[in-house]
C-alpha cells in the first residue's frame, strides 16, 4: 500500500469524492456556500445504506425501540424548555483586520512578541485615530512585520496607507489565544453566538412568529414521548429513535463535511427507570464490573449499566460496517466538560486524517457520536414547560414498593426526593417550591410514578459517511491490460455500506449473446441489491472504475458462460473480489445467495 499522511491524504480523498460523485460543494456553480454539501450519485447510496443499516440495527432488530419521523420546525417553546435558546451558543471572536470569524475555543495558541499601539496618525492631513491594536510576531522577526499589519488595520478606518503608528510598546507572551494565527492581528473579546437558524412561520416577520430549524432531532422524541409510548405499547425500559436533518449555524464549518451547517443525525433516546425504582423492584442496582459489553439487558441494571451497554453496542455497530476498533477511541468526558444535565458522556471518536495528534504522535480522533446519560432532565423540562405530565406508571414498581421493608421505603424515597429537589433548584425554582414539588415526586414514586431517565446515543450520518470514506480510501498496484503494474485507487467500503454491491459486465459489448446473458444476471440481482451494469471500455478499465467506486464484487459474463468452451462451465460467471482482485468461477444460480450473505 502507498501511504499518504494528513492533509495530503485528505486532499486526495476530497478530490476522489468529487470525481466519483460522492460529495459535491453545494451551489458550486455560484461559488459554493460555506458549510453546505451535496451528495452525488454514489454518496446518496452510501448515506442511504448507513441510515438503513442503523435503522435496522437500532429498531427493526429490537423489540424495545420504536421509530419516529418528526418535523424540522417545531413549537419554539421546545427550544426554551431544552435550553437551546439560552445555552446553545459557542464563543466567537472576530479578526479586527479581516473580520473573519472563529470559534474562540478553536484558536491555536501562539507565543512570541506582541507589539501594542495606541493609534495612528496621518502626517499629511493631521487625521488621527485613537484606537488600541496589537500584533503578535515570532520573537526573532523584524518589528516591521508587526508594523505592517498594524498599518493595514488603521488604514481600514482612514484609507491612508502611510500612517504613522503611535505609542508602540512590546511584551513577550506564551500560548496566547488572543491573535489570529493567519496574520497575527488582534481578535475581539469572545462573545456568545447562538447556533440555531431562525425563521418566521407565516407571512408576518414578528417576534411572535419566530421559529427555529431544529439543531438536533432529539427534542422531538421527548416532545412525542407519551404518544409513542402509548401507541407502541412499550414499557420502560424502551427507546424511540429518529433519523433526520439538523441545522447549526456553525461559526467555523471545517474539515470537509465534518462540521457542516446542515447535516443529518441518527439519535436514540432510550428511557430507563430511575435507580431508586430499580432498587425497589430488584433489591439492588447492578453497576459495571469492568470494561467491555455487559451482555443482555437485565432488570436490575441502573443507568451506569445501560450507559455502558449502549457505548459497547455502538462500538460494535461501527466495527460491523468496517471501522476497525483501532481506528475508534472511547473518550470519557471529564466532569468539567459535561453538559449541565449529563451524568456521564462517552464520545466515540474516529481517527480522521485531519485529527490532531497527541503527545505520542498518535491521531487523537474527532467525535463521531456521543453517548450521554442525560438523567430525567429532558422529560422533566418539557413537563415543567408544557404543563403536561411526562411521568409513566410502572405497575411492577407499585407492587414492589408495597412489599418493601419499612426501613427501606423512607431511604429510597429520600434519595429520590433529593435528586428531584436538586434538579428543580438548578432550573431556577425557589427552594420552597423545589422542596414541595420534590416531596410530591417522592410520593409519586411510592405509588409507581416517575419521569423516566434517558441514555442517548447520538450519531451524525455525514460524519460517519466521511469516516467510512476516509477508512475506505486506499492505493495499491494492479496490472494493466499489458500486465504492467500501475497505481490503483480503491475504496474498500464494507459490502454492507458500499454504494453499489455488484457490477455486472459482459466481456464484449458487440456480442449480443454476452450482453443478453449479462442483462439477465443484472435483472436477477437487481430486486435484491444495488447493481451497476457496465459494458463500455476494456474489462480492466471497467474493474478499475468499480474499484474506485468501492463496488465490492464484479461479475463478468464471458464465452465460458455461454458454454462455448465446454458444457461444464456453461452458466457460470467470474466473480471478482475488489480488495484482493481474486477471481472465482460461480454458477449463476448461486450468485444471489452468495452475494446476499456478504452484503447483509
Ligand atoms: N442530541 C445530542 C446532540 O445533538 P451533539 O454531540 O451536539 O449531541 C450529535 O451531536 C452528533 O451529531 C455528533 O456526534 C456529530 O456526529 C453530529 N454533528 C453535530 N454537529 C455537527 C455538524 N456541525 N456537522 C456534522 N455533524 C454534526
Ligand 1: distance of its center to the CA of 263 in Å?
A: 8
Burial 370-394 (b: 16+ CB within 10 A, else e): bbbbbbbbbbbbbbbbeeeebbbeb
pLDDT digits 0-9 by tens, 195-209: 999 999 999 999 999
Phi then psi for residue 273, to 5 deg, are: -70, 150
Cell numbers describing residue 201: 412561520
* pLDDT, the chain, mean: 95
Q: How far is the CA of 382 from the centre of ligand 1 (A)?
A: 22
pLDDT band at 2 (very low <50, low <70, confident <90, very high): very low
Q: Is the CB of 363 under 6 A from ligand 1?
A: no
pLDDT at 6: 62
Judge if the beta carbon of residue 355 lies within 6 A of ligand 1. no
pLDDT (tens digit, 9 = 90+) per residue, 365-418?
999 999 999 999 999 999 999 999 999 999 999 999 999 999 999 999 999 999
Q: Is 250 in the pocket of ligand 1 (CB under 6 A)?
A: yes
Give ∠ CA 572-576-578 in degrees, rounded to 5: 165
pLDDT at 3 over 60: no
Distance CA 73, CA 198 (A): 10
Give the pLDDT mean for 10-15.
96
Q: What's the Cα-to-Cα distance from 183 to each of 97, 146, 187, 480, rounded to whole Å? A: 9, 9, 11, 48
Task: Note the pLDDT of residue 209.
Answer: 96
SS3 state of residue 519: helix
Question: Which pLDDT score is estimated for 441?
Answer: 97
Question: Is ligand 1 within 6 A of the CB of residue 265?
Answer: yes
Find cell 503611535 and name the residue: 166
| Cα gap 570→567, rounded to integer Å | 5
Question: pLDDT tens across 102-160, in order?
Answer: 999 989 999 999 999 999 998 888 889 999 999 999 999 999 999 999 999 999 877 77
Asked if 412 and 276 count as a contact pair (C-beta separation under 8 A), the reply is: yes
Show Cβ contacts of residue 80 under 8 Å, excluding neighbours closer than 6 positions. Answer: 86, 385
Query: The C-alpha cell of 316 is what?
Result: 460494535
Q: What is the pLDDT of residues 333-357, one digit of tens each?
A: 999 999 888 999 999 999 999 999 9
How many angstroms is it from 233 CA to the middle of ligand 1? 30
Atom of ligand 1 nearest to the CA of 267: 1
Q: Which atom of ligand 1 is nearest to the CA of 215?
A: 4
* Under 8 Å between Cβ of 494 and 321: yes
Contact, 22 vs 432, CB < 8 A? no
pLDDT at 492 over 80: yes
- Give the C-alpha distances (Å, rounded to integers) separating 217 from 67, 223, 243, 366: 12, 11, 7, 21
Q: Between 14 and 566, whose confidence is greater?
A: 14
Cα–ligand 1 centroid distance for 43 (angstroms): 20
DSSP assignment letter at 356 = P
Distance, C-alpha 435 to centroid of its chain: 39
Write phi, then psi, for 32 (nearest 5 degrees). Answer: 85, 170
Tell me the residue length of the chain: 600
Provide the pLDDT for residue 1: 38
Q: CA-CA distance, 543 to 555, in Å (whole number)?
A: 10
State the pTM of this model: 0.91
Percent of the chain scored above 90 by pLDDT?
89
Q: Is the model's pLDDT at 161 over the cut of 80? A: no
Longest CA–CA span in the chain (Å) reads 100
What gap in Å lies between CA 518 and CA 113, rounded to an integer? 71
Ligand 1 pocket, residue 248 CB under 6 Å: yes
State the average pLDDT over residues 470-496. 93
Residue located nearest, by CA, to atom 2 of ligand 1: 458
Distance CA 64, CA 537 (A): 51
Confidence of residue 318 (pLDDT cuts 50, 70, 90): very high
- The whole-number pLDDT of residue 89 equals 87
- Please give the distance, rounded to the nearest whole angstrom, from the Cα atom of residue 217 to the centre of ligand 1: 10
Higher pLDDT, 412 or 600: 412
Cα 362 to averaged position of ligand 1 atoms, centre (Å): 24
Concatenated DSSP letters of 186-252: BBPPPEEEE-PPEEESSS--SGGGEEEB-S-SHHHHHHTHHHHHHHTT--SSEEEEEEEEEE---SS
DSSP letter string over 390-438? --EE-HHHHHHHHTS-TTHHHHHHHHHHHHHHHHHHHTT--HHHHHHHH
Q: How far is CA 584 from the centre of its chain?
A: 39
Distance CA 158, CA 256 (A): 38
Within a 10 A sphere around the Cβ of 484, how many other Cβ atoms?
A: 8
CA gap 217, 242 in Å, rounded: 7
Distance of CA 382 to the CA centre of its chain: 25
DSSP per-residue string spanning 531-544 = EEE--SS-HHHHHH
Amino acid at each position: 500500500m502507498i501511504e499518504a499522511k494528513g492533509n495530503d491524504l485528505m486532499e486526495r480523498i476530497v478530490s476522489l469524492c468529487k470525481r466519483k460523485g460522492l460529495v459535491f460543494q453545494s451551489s458550486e456553480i455560484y461559488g459554493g456556500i460555506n458549510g453546505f454539501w451535496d451528495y452525488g450519485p454514489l454518496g446518496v447510496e452510501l448515506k442511504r445504506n448507513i441510515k438503513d443499516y442503523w435503522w435496522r440495527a437500532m429498531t427493526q432488530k429490537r423489540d424495545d425501540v420504536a421509530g419516529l419521523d418528526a418535523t424540522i420546525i417545531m413549537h419554539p417553546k421546545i427550544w426554551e424548555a431544552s435550553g437551546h435558546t439560552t445555552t446553545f451558543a459557542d464563543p466567537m471572536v472576530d479578526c479586527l483586520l479581516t473580520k473573519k470569524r472563529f470559534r474562540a475555543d478553536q484558536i491555536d495558541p501562539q507565543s512570541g512578541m506582541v507589539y501594542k499601539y495606541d493609534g495612528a496618525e496621518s502626517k499629511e492631513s493631521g487625521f488621527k485615530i485613537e484606537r488600541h491594536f496589537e500584533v503578535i510576531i515570532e520573537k526573532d522577526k523584524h518589528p516591521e512585520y508587526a508594523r505592517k499589519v498594524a498599518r493595514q488595520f488603521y488604514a481600514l478606518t482612514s484609507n491612508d496607507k502611510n500612517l504613522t503608528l503611535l505609542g508602540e510598546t512590546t511584551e513577550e507572551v506564551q500560548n496566547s489565544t488572543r491573535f489570529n494565527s493567519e496574520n497575527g492581528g488582534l481578535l475581539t473579546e469572545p462573545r456568545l453566538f447562538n447556533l440555531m437558524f431562525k425563521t418566521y412561520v407565516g407571512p408576518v416577520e414578528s417576534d411572535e412568529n419566530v421559529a427555529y430549524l431544529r439543531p438536533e432531532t432529539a427534542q422531538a422524541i421527548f416532545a412525542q414521548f407519551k404518544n409513542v409510548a402509548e401507541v407502541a405499547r412499550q414499557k420502560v425500559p424502551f427507546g424511540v429513535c429518529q433519523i433526520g436533518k439538523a441545522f447549526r449555524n456553525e461559526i467555523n464549518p471545517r474539515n470537509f463535511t465534518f462540521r457542516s451547517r446542515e447535516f443529518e443525525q441518527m439519535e436514540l433516546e432510550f428511557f430507563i427507570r430511575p435507580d431508586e425504582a430499580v432498587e425497589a423492584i430488584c433489591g439492588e442496582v447492578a453497576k459495571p464490573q469492568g470494561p467491555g459489553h455487559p451482555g443482555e439487558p437485565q432488570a436490575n441494571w441502573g443507568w451506569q449499566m445501560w450507559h455502558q451497554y449502549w457505548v459497547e453496542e455502538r462500538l460494535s455497530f461501527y466495527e460491523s460496517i468496517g471501522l476497525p476498533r483501532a481506528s475508534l477511541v472511547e473518550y470519557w468526558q471529564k466532569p468539567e466538560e459535561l453538559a449541565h444535565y449529563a451524568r456521564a458522556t462517552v464520545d466515540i471518536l474516529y481517527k480522521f486524517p485531519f485529527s490532531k495528534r497527541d503527545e505520542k504522535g498518535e491521531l487523537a480522533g474527532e467525535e463521531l457520536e456521543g453517548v450521554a446519560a442525560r438523567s430525567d432532565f429532558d422529560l422533566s423540562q418539557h413537563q415543567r414547560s408544557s404543563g403536561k405530565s411526562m411521568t409513566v406508571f410502572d405497575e411492577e414498581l407499585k407492587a414492589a414498593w408495597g412489599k418493601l421493608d419499612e426501613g427501606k421505603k423512607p431511604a429510597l424515597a429520600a434519595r429520590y426526593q433529593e435528586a428531584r429537589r436538586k434538579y428543580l433548584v438548578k432550573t431556577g425554582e425557589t427552594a420552597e417550591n423545589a422542596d414541595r414539588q420534590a416531596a410530591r415526586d417522592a410520593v409519586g414514586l411510592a405509588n409507581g410514578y416517575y419521569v423516566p431517565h434517558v441514555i442517548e446515543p447520538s450519531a451524525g450520518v455525514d460524519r460517519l459517511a466521511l469516516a467510512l470514506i476516509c477508512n475506505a480510501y486506499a492505493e495499491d498496484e494492479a496490472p494493466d491490460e499489458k500486465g504492467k503494474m500501475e497505481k490503483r485507487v480503491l475504496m474498500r467500503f464494507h459490502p454492507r455500506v458500499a454504494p453499489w454491491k455488484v457490477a455486472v459486465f459482459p466481456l464484449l459489448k458487440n456480442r449480443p449473446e454476452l450482453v443478453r446473458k449479462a442483462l439477465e444476471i443484472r435483472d436477477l440481482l437487481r430486486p435484491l441489491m444495488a447493481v451497476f451494469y457496465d459494458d463500455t471500455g476494456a474489462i480492466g478499465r471497467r474493474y478499475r472504475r468499480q474499484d474506485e467506486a468501492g463496488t465490492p464484487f464484479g461479475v463478468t459474463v464471458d464465452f465460458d458462460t455461454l458454454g462455448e468452451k465446454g458444457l461444464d462451465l456453461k452458466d457460470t460467471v467470474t466473480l471478482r473480489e475488489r480488495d484482493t482482485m481474486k477471481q472465482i468461477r460461480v454458477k449463476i444460480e448461486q450468485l444471489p445467495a452468495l452475494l446476499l450473505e456478504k452484503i447483509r
